[in-house]
Chains A and B, each alone.
Chain A
Amino acid sequence: MMRKDWLLITHVVVLLSILVGALWAFTYFSGAALQQFCVIVVAVVAHIVWGAIYHSLSNRLTVGLLLEYILIGALVLLLFSWTLFS
């Protein structure tokens, strides 16, 4: 139970770090579309990698679950590139 709590806290902290880091980097590269796109790519990769680690630690990692994270990441990238490069 203790381990689960720590895992959940770590999960939230990592997600928040990804969000805050991406927001900061995005505003830092304001006006530079390519760098901003790189920022969101890094955030998406971090989201997928951390998702895999988190589910692996909680013994729930499956191929389908990993695919779900990859698909959500791909959607976010496609939607963001729509705005950035249109």
Chain B
Amino acid sequence: MRPAPVLLLLGMLGGTVGPAGAAPAIQPEEWRSYVEAFIGPEGRVIDTGNGGISHSEGQGYGLVLSVLADDRPTFERLWSFTATELMVREDGLAAWRWEPDSQPHVTDTNNATDGDMLIAYGLLLAGGAWDEPAYAEAAAPMIRTIGRTLLVTADGLPVILPGAEGFAGTEADARPVLNPSYWVYEVFPAFARLDPVIDWAGVGAAGLEILLRARATPSGLPADWVQLEEGGLVPARDFAPEFGYNGIRIPLYLMRAGIDAAHLEPFRASAGDGALAKVDVVSGEAIEPIGEPGYRLIAAAMDCLAGDGPVPGELRTLAVTSYYAATLQLLLLDHLRRHAPECLDGGAGP
């Protein structure tokens, strides 16, 4: 990894995160409570809603958030754990699942591509924020491997394979199984600068195309797991045909990446009583609300961006509930505070 492109990349990344030296958008107290609740001293992010396991997705979120919170020591902790405990795969990506009570701790050596993308993205952000080339040097092989081995073509679109094993097509059914919430839109420009051989922009566009195809379905939303066919979209075989905790990240990612707000419409429309819900995509019926504050902020933010005024006061600071809700909330608060502070201002105060 030659120094020149890396430095170029770091310079460009500065714009995404914020000018060097600017105060982080994540408050010290709320970051401290997040760390206390969800990050262990050995550097693992603890999924409190999932038996206390750790996974590559959590590590990726943790790395990104610690850069956004300008907490380099915690970043180092997280990266040390990630590298020594999860990066045992031959292809250099992370084994996705780590359990505290198992021996060995890694209980599934398959990768989870969204986790790998988040880890690589966190490393790129860190390299730019703290002027450290070693981080980007560590990210580059991961990004190259993802680009060359985990992107496939489905119904003519370049899509992300959720894992190296088990999601590609079979003899019986050649259509790969996809997860629309694995499209972390803000990473594609960064990946493209580091590895321009791969059409990352095309991958991003394919994600939006998937959302467009979903509009034609009864619920207007994509299921958490889908397959593409003949210009359309169907819920994936062997998965529940539901939009839920996976898909709820899609509007968050769209907002953070500054994608045209028109893409938010189906999500905004499906939210009732200020909360998104789990939806049966076949019938279009809501199943149950996804109610923790972190999730409700997503719906409230969409409403604010559509002109409905600021988000409710109680959603403007971190609620330390579950790892997942708290993580999504921090990511969205970071974005709103930097790019849409009016959504957090006035109205019913804290």
Binding between chains A and B: no
